[in-house]
Structures are given as structure tokens and as C-alpha cells.
């Protein structure tokens, strides 16, 4: 799941995210690992939902059939994928880090407009399904 954004619009967010990831995979720019992620992307079983809270909390709104899969975070942690998911984003912030990233936010203190944020220290602060922070 992608934290931030409006929950009702998650269908478009999910489709845009899948399209961006497929384009990257087809173009040879990304290899989805573990390999079962590519099969999951092509199936109808993966949904990239957005909302307020942790990935677990967002997935719980989808009922018992939804679950957070942390393996996706490394592939979502790209400006091009996040901007496709959230086309209203004014910019991508690449200097932040934390377990609650990647994310989208409309409220970043003095910054106005929507922003997508990637985790610049992903190896040190791996995104987690239970993470909630200032940006989630």
C-alpha cells in the first residue's frame, strides 16, 4: 500500500502504479525481486491502496482478503512510480528517509501542494507494513 492520499481514489492510484511498474519492467529498467512479484503484478491479486495510516491499517479497510506485502516497498520507492500513482504531486522529495516512506502528502509544513517522498536511506530504514510517521 501507499500511504497518504485519498482513500476513495485508490482504484486509480492502484492502476497508475501498476502501469508505471509494468513500463519499468518491460523497458528493462527494473527487475522485480522476489520473482513472484512480477506474477503478482500481472494478476489481479495485487492492489496498491492509499489512505491515512500504516500499510496494515489501510489494508484492513479492504477486508480479510487484503494484506500488506513489504516486498513491494523497494519497487515503489521511486519518483517515477510515485508520480504516476499520484499525478497531482507537485514534486518528488528525495532527501527524506524513514520506515514510513515512500508516501504522498498534502501537508508538509511550509510546502504547499502535494508531494511524493522516497526513502533515501532504504537499506538503513526499510519500509515496514506497520510504520506510521509524519508522512504517512
Q: Check whether 89 has a pLDDT greater than 50.
A: yes
Mean pLDDT of 23-49: 87
What tens digit of pLDDT does each residue of 44-82 get?
778 888 888 888 888 888 776 788 889 999 999 999 999
Name the percent of the chain lying above pLDDT 70: 85
Three-state secondary structure call for residue 27: coil
Q: Which of 3-7, 41-45, 102-106 is the least confident region?
A: 3-7
Q: Which three cell numbers stand for residue 22?
A: 509494468
Our measurement of the distance from residue 39's CA atom to the centroid of its chain's CA atoms, rounded to an integer in Å, reads 18
Q: What is the C-alpha separation between 60 and 23, in angstroms, rounded?
A: 29
CA angle 85, 61, 37 (to 5 degrees): 50
> Cα separations (Å) of 42 from 9, 12, 13, 32, 90?
21, 16, 16, 12, 29
Q: What is the C-alpha separation between 125 and 16, in angstroms, rounded?
A: 26
> Considering only CA atoms, which of 91, 93, 101, 90 is closest in space to residue 125?
101
pLDDT band at residue 109 using 50, 70 and 90 as cut-offs: low
pLDDT band at residue 4 using 50, 70 and 90 as cut-offs: very low
The model carries a pTM of 0.82
> Cα separations (Å) of 135 from 16, 66, 90, 122?
21, 22, 16, 15
Amino acid at each position: 500500500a501507499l500511504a497518504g492520499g485519498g482513500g476513495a481514489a485508490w482504484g486509480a492510484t492502484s492502476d497508475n502504479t501498476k502501469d508505471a511498474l509494468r513500463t519499468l519492467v518491460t523497458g528493462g529498467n527494473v527487475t522485480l525481486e522476489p520473482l513472484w512479484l512480477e506474477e503478482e503484478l500481472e494478476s489481479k491479486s495485487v492492489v496498491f491502496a492509499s489512505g491515512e495510516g500504516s500499510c496494515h491499517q489501510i489494508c484492513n479497510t479492504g477486508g480479510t482478503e487484503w494484506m500488506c506485502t513489504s516486498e513491494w516497498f523497494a519497487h515503489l520507492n521511486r519518483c517515477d512510480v510515485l508520480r504516476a500513482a499520484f499525478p497531482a504531486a507537485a514534486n518528488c522529495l528525495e532527501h527524506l528517509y524513514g520506515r514510513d516512506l515512500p508516501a504522498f502528502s498534502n501537508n508538509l509544513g511550509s510546502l504547499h501542494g502535494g508531494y511524493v517522498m522516497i526513502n533515501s536511506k532504504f537499506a538503513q530504514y526499510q519500509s515496514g507494513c506497520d510504520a506510521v510517521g509524519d508522512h504517512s
